[in-house]
Structure 1
Amino acid sequence: MDKKLLSLIIFLALLNAGSCKDDSLRQYLQPSDVLSGAYDETYLSTNSSLCTRQCTGASKICYYEFFTEMYSSMGLACKDCPFNREDCFAPQCVTVDGVPRGIVTYNRIFPGPSIQVCKGDVIVVDVHNHLPSDSTSIHWHGIRHKNSPYYDGVPKVTQCPIHPGTTFRYIYNASEEGTFFYHSHSGLQKVDGLSGTLIVREKKEDEHISHLYDFDLPSHTVMVSDWMHLDSGQFLPGITNERSLPKSYLVNGRGIFAPTGQSVNIDQGSLPLTEFTVKKGKRYRFRLIGGTCLACLAAVTFLDHRVSVVFGDGAGPVEPTLVDKIVLNSGDRFDVILEANQSVDTYWIMVRGLGGKNSSTSCYNAQQFALLKYEGHNGKPSTPYPGTADVPEGITLNPENSSCNDPNEVCLTHLQSFTPLPEDLKGKPDEILFVRFSNYRYEFSDLFENGTFQPFFVVSPAGGPIKSLVNNVMNFLPPSPLMSQYEDVPNSSFCRPECYSKDIQKPCTCLNVLKVKLNSVVDVILTGTGVAHPFHLHGYNFYIMEEGSLEGDVENGLKNLVKRLMKGDWHNSKPIQKDTVGVPHNGYVVVRFKADNPGLWFFHCHFLFHLDSGMSGILQVGEPSDFQPVPEGFPKCGDFLPPLPA
């Protein structure tokens, strides 16, 4: 065995056992501001001591400390920002879109510290919860956790919540290359600021697409966030005079609040936009992350530049496909290659919310800009601020609610992997699961009666109260984590068989678990109503086999679809893999995977208010005897109901 690998294994054993002093771990502490561009040159050097480095195949321990606390945008740390532009870059100044409000941060930055490591590295994150009253957690979106399922970060599924004043250590191996991100999986904390980027690179000579680009810089990670001007707690269950829609978007935590149609001023005295620097004639890999939370998709356009899509999520490379616009669902990631082939100038990067101007789920008024600056230019675009009419539609990747037959639209099923579907996944599936997203609208008599306390969500002033469902069930998590304390979860928590009946009039509120056999080939048929729901499955990548619309008789349409599934009748022999996919309104998506990662894996709509009002479930792969052993000393939690004294 390699001596370095043996030393690493011994170190991690001590770490898990709690025998490693903080002083020895701190030698591996990584900087928080990798996304700023300050480490681009260090990354390009061949002898960097940081985890953000040129990958050679050697492994490192990459240690991070996250201090989770309540904070303020445009607060005291920002001094005289924006009037003194340098103050906007002062330590611990969080500008967002310039509107002061209470937020929640990791290490007083937004996005949080950018974790950028090499394949094979060990990531260690100590989360210190300094929130005064809220528990927290971190989910590592897209990381499969094949040997570390207890660190997936879902409270009451894989772990207990991290309580105020306590520290929880996440330890896992960066075993897959790709673009990932992390975020709180507790309540609504993600939409208030608890998220960050996570990049895993591999040796360039091992990459299938390394010949397509010259640079893959740490600062060229592009995280798109939607942003509200009120604390998220105002919207669950919800105030009745405002909708839970974004006021603006942010690019790597920066922007200017200017609703669609208003011009953006980037002169002295205005907030700085996020800036990405390129050199004319070079090709750059940009990693786009849909870090959004709310019920709208966001479209990203690099004005005057086409980009080539080369990678989806953290799931593998795709055949290069030229597009003009990339549509991001919440949780989506796409890597694109941009060739700096235009005149030396500074160009607009536009982010715009989708939805018709008068649509009930419209984010038409929310937008944001960043800058693509060529080396040698002064940083101010020579073209004026682009209005809606100034942005050509062109070819769109991942269009919303598409029928996938428009030549100017590239659906995910149009993209192709470099390799065909593995042999063991061809043919008919062993199991077929149906996952249907929907909402149930309460009658007032069901909800507001003395002694009843049903959870609900107010969609809009006119929309009334709802609860969100998967397969006609509002998921309600148990008092103890299902993964680590399976035997402590009462049987009464689980959904009764009749909860899944088509004839049930009022949806159940219970623990929604779907079981599949270990190592079975599973097809999941995803359908939904209302909006295009982004489906995310923890612990797995899946192949996107087919997507389309279900018009007319939906039930017969699904029956015919199942018949084709059982015949192995597919339209794409080289489907791409992802871990997140948008389910079109009144449409369907079929995904396939091999259930080879035993455990309890959360799946859900990635719109945060849908998730927190019940639109989720748990995929149980195998039996508890198949699960990884619980880490020694792992926290426990649950109800405390002592008997009354005699």
Structure 2
Amino acid sequence: MARLLDLCIRQCTTPLLCLLFVCFVNAQQTDDRPKVQPYANAADCICKPEDTLCKCTFVVEHRLSMVLHEERELVRAVNGYLVKNVDDNKRLTKNESERVITTDGVGSRLVIAINGKFPGPRVDVFENQEIEITVVNTFHTDSVTVHFHGIHQKDTPWMDGVAFITQCPILPGQSFVYRFKAYPPGTSFYHAHIGDQRSMGLYGPFIVRKRDVNGGPGEIIVALQDWNHNMDAETAYMRMITEQYDFGTNPPQIVNTTVSVDNGNFSRFEFKSGLINGKGRYWKSATEHNSAPLEIFKVTTGRSYRFRVIGAMTLYPMRVYIEGIPLSLRSSDCFNIEDNDIGSIQSIIVHPGERYDFLATFTDNIRKQYLLIAETIETRASHGKYHAAEAIIFVDNAPGSVNLAPPNNKDKTCLVESKCKTFNCPYGYTGTNTNNCLNFNDVKNTDPYGDPSKVQGNKVDNEYFFKFAFPGFPGNTPGSVNAREFIPPTSPLLTQPNGLTTRCNEEKCREKGVCGCTYIQEIPGNKLIQMTFMNIGNGSGWSHPVHLHGHSFFVMKMGFGTYNAVTGQLIDESTDIKCTDKYGFCSQMEWADSTWNGGNIPGQNPKPPTKDTIVVPTGGYVVIRFISDNPGMWFLHCHIDLHNTNGMGMVVNVNPGNHPKPPTGFPTCGSFFNNGKPQPDVDSECRTIVGDGNGSLANGSFVFSLLVALICAMRV
């Protein structure tokens, strides 16, 4: 569109035709979306390409699983479908089944729904389109906020949705209108950003489409979740910091935590079932399940499909694959990547907060169905069950009928001479001689939006180290960054910075070793920033998917420890980084080789891929770079909800003193001490960088097009 307007201005010899042409182009924008599964319904937010402002409403509410809500009837699972609780022969209709939130079919537990859906509705919007989402909190007791994960929020940092960082929580009965531009294009999602509400279902897909791409392969959205049908969000957190029990035994027995192949730990959040788009089945043992309904996708032989996989898990990474089908990796966290001659892959490990797009083609004209499987990377020996999310893929033009309760067989054989390739391992080896581990050192950036040339080289403007771990003394090992347990402020840092009373005292933190405070790192604007996320020393042993708000970054290098090539277990941590604090907590650190300082790091990826969430392997580190061109207060944290709530987060203050001004009437909040002092005001030092903070410039894009044509006409 911009090119057409430019051509109009430069070659405007027939002004009336030009004016009509611009009007025609605006009026003739077509919606060439591919077919997307699950299919949209009235609850979803599907923006039209011609919408100047796309408006949606999210009604956040509590619902019960395995209940027909309007009829107030309990349902049960039988052979992969739902029946009325009173009669196995009363199978629910298609419409009734679609209205039931099944989760894993166990009991009837409290969940969070948006517009009646679990997970929440799909948002489908176009690149740089302005979108307005009104969130209505109908809870009786809980507050909410909604973060749009992966969206940069350029010039609208107060719409980032992080409680007490960028906004006040939305209280019960209140509404909050988010308004921002959708960028970058790709697969993102939205989710709760207060407490651990994501574990109860407060999340959903957020797809941003490029305007110049028509049609394309059919799309299948796969939202992954690990599920515990015994615990709500608050109970899950308390179990993590105390202990978890099996109350089916007498007396109750402690449920042991599990490990991955490198002997990396997983926290206390017992995996009961895996869900895909809110559906899954409970495996009571490695061979017996409860026949709850699975998500079903439809494909046709000879066609390729783009799978958009969203890691909405609370804790567990999942290895995603399709029985017998090679996967062609296309993008991660909205940006295109390409393998370095590794060819097709058998599986992708998805960590909480990550998104992956891959293509899959189904060529067998005889086979009727496949299983899409997302199995946790826990070793089976550490839990003795089958921990996976599953979905049925059925071929509509193949003969036969669909088995709605298929076994968990895997027909992909990995051999020594034909090893399976697994991408995004948080460790060096798989522990077998039939699988290869690949990571972001093995892929290259191919995205036109993510030009790596601006971050390449051996010199950076500013360099920072951040350790994500659980260091500390016995009895005091909270989640932290650089041994600083994050204490949320009581009013938003971005808009009420004068209300902060818990700022870190660096001298006291160094003296105590571990401290609790609101950890903030100020970063100058428009500089080449290098950050090294690390997970070594005291308190390591858990891998952490780290997410940066407000930016996408380039993954320059992943550093790993030393592993046993046979068992896959970690032998030694990386020795590239040296801890310099007196307790060995790595609250202060530096490169072991001082020649690496300032960005002079060997082994950089020559075409570094672009991401916003990256796993930091236990015993290792990740080096990222980005340009600090988005002023605001941006949260940097582990995307495992329970770790984040436990203090594993911090704030990056980009370009202090030059943050955009919030909209008029933006909410304020804070503690009340009855001391005669007012609440801290919205920061009077904030100044507008672009627009008036309300997005009003974007609302006039069509009018602007007409004005350009009129100016063109006046020039003749």
Q: TM-score range by the shorter chain?
A: 0.7 to 0.9
1:97 aligns with 2:125: no
2:87 is matched with none
Distance 1:148 1:562, change over 3 A: farther
In 1, Cα distance between equivalents of 2:452 and 2:532: 18
Code of the aligned partner of 2:121:
P
In 2, Cα distance between equivalents of 1:246 and 1:88: 30
CA contact (8 A) 1:71 1:102 kept: yes
Code of the aligned partner of 1:517:
P
CA contact (8 A) 2:293 2:404 kept: no
Code of the aligned partner of 1:215:
P
- 2:480 aligns with one of 425, 448, 469: 469
CA contact (8 A) 2:45 2:124 kept: no
Distance 1:39 1:368, change over 3 A: closer
RCO comparison, higher one (Cα < 8 Å, 6+) = 2
In 2, Cα distance between equivalents of 1:161 and 1:435: 28
Code of the aligned partner of 2:349:
V
In terms of mean alpha carbon deviation, does 280-289 or 313-322 score higher? 313-322
In 2, Cα distance between equivalents of 1:356 and 1:370: 22
Distance 1:277 1:388, change over 3 A: closer
In 2, Cα distance between equivalents of 1:470 and 1:636: 28
Distance 1:171 1:382, change over 3 A: closer
1:537 is matched with 548
Write out per-residue CA displacement over residues 569-605 of structure 1, whole angstroms, 9 at most, x where no aligned residue: 3432111000000000011111111111111100101
Return the offset for 1:387. Answer: 4.1
Return the offset for 1:424. Answer: 5.3
1:69 aligns with 2:95: no
Greater C-alpha Rg: 2
Write out per-residue CA displacement over residues 37-73 of structure 1, whole angstroms, 9 at most, x where no aligned residue: 4449x9xxxxxx98456x6xx5543222111122111
Task: Give the aligned length.
Answer: 567
1:227 is matched with 227
1:372 aligns with 2:398: no
Distance 1:203 1:371, change over 3 A: same
Distance 1:185 1:379, change over 3 A: farther
Structure-to-structure mapping, 1:386-535, within 5 angstroms: 386-387=408-409, 392=414, 394-402=420-428, 408-418=436-446, 421-423=452-454, 425-440=456-471, 443=474, 466-490=477-501, 493-501=502-510, 504-505=512-513, 507-528=514-535, 529-535=540-546
1:458 is matched with none
1:255 aligns with 2:266: no
Q: Secondary structure at the match of 1:233?
A: helix
Q: Secondary structure at the match of 1:467?
A: coil
1:240 aligns with 2:248: no
1:22 is matched with none
Return the offset for 1:425. Answer: 4.4
In 2, Cα distance between equivalents of 1:314 and 1:363: 36
The percentage of counterpart residues that share the same residue type is: 28
Code of the aligned partner of 1:534:
P
**Structure 2 alignment gaps of length 5 or more:** 6-34, 77-81, 84-90, 246-267, 562-571, 580-589, 678-716
1:631 is matched with 663
Structure-to-structure mapping, 1:152-301, within 5 angstroms: 152-205=160-213, 214-217=216-219, 220-229=220-229, 230-238=231-239, 240-242=243-245, 243-259=268-284, 261-264=286-289, 270-294=291-315, 296-301=316-321
In 2, Cα distance between equivalents of 1:330 and 1:166: 29
Write out per-residue CA displacement over residues 146-170 of structure 1, whole angstroms, 9 at most, x where no aligned residue: 1211110001000000011100000
Code of the aligned partner of 2:298:
T
Distance 1:382 1:186, change over 3 A: closer
Distance 1:381 1:204, change over 3 A: farther
In 2, Cα distance between equivalents of 1:430 and 1:404: 37
Return the offset for 1:381. Answer: 5.4
CA contact (8 A) 2:226 2:314 kept: yes
Return the offset for 1:482. Answer: 0.3
1:549 is matched with 560
1:343 is matched with 365
Structure-to-structure mapping, 1:133-152, within 5 angstroms: 133-152=141-160
In terms of mean alpha carbon deviation, does 328-337 or 98-107 score higher? 98-107
Return the offset for 1:429. Answer: 1.1
Return the offset for 1:272. Answer: 2.4
Return the offset for 1:396. Answer: 0.3
Return the offset for 1:417. Answer: 1.1
In 2, Cα distance between equivalents of 1:258 and 1:489: 48
In 2, Cα distance between equivalents of 1:124 and 1:564: 46
In 2, Cα distance between equivalents of 1:621 and 1:517: 6
Q: Secondary structure at the match of 1:237?
A: helix
Q: Secondary structure at the match of 2:642?
A: helix
Write out per-residue CA displacement over residues 118-163 of structure 1, whole angstroms, 9 at most, x where no aligned residue: 1132221111111111111000000010121111000100000001
Distance 1:88 1:323, change over 3 A: farther
In 1, Cα distance between equivalents of 2:98 and 2:392: 22
In 2, Cα distance between equivalents of 1:280 and 1:435: 48
In terms of mean alpha carbon deviation, does 419-428 or 59-68 score higher? 419-428
Code of the aligned partner of 1:572:
N
CA contact (8 A) 1:535 1:605 kept: yes
In 2, Cα distance between equivalents of 1:549 and 1:518: 31
CA contact (8 A) 1:259 1:366 kept: no
In 2, Cα distance between equivalents of 1:579 and 1:241: 32
CA contact (8 A) 2:190 2:204 kept: yes
In terms of mean alpha carbon deviation, does 235-244 or 536-545 score higher? 235-244
Return the offset for 1:641. Answer: 1.5
Distance 1:354 1:319, change over 3 A: closer
**Structure 1 alignment gaps of length 5 or more:** 6-33, 43-48, 445-464
Code of the aligned partner of 2:176:
F
In 2, Cα distance between equivalents of 1:132 and 1:257: 30
Distance 1:561 1:75, change over 3 A: farther
In 2, Cα distance between equivalents of 1:436 and 1:254: 36
Return the offset for 1:390. Answer: 6.5
1:356 is matched with 379
TM-score, normalization: structure 1? 0.81
In 2, Cα distance between equivalents of 1:159 and 1:474: 21
In 1, Cα distance between equivalents of 2:621 and 2:474: 29
CA contact (8 A) 1:264 1:385 kept: no
In terms of mean alpha carbon deviation, does 433-442 or 469-478 score higher? 433-442
Q: Secondary structure at the match of 2:93?
A: helix
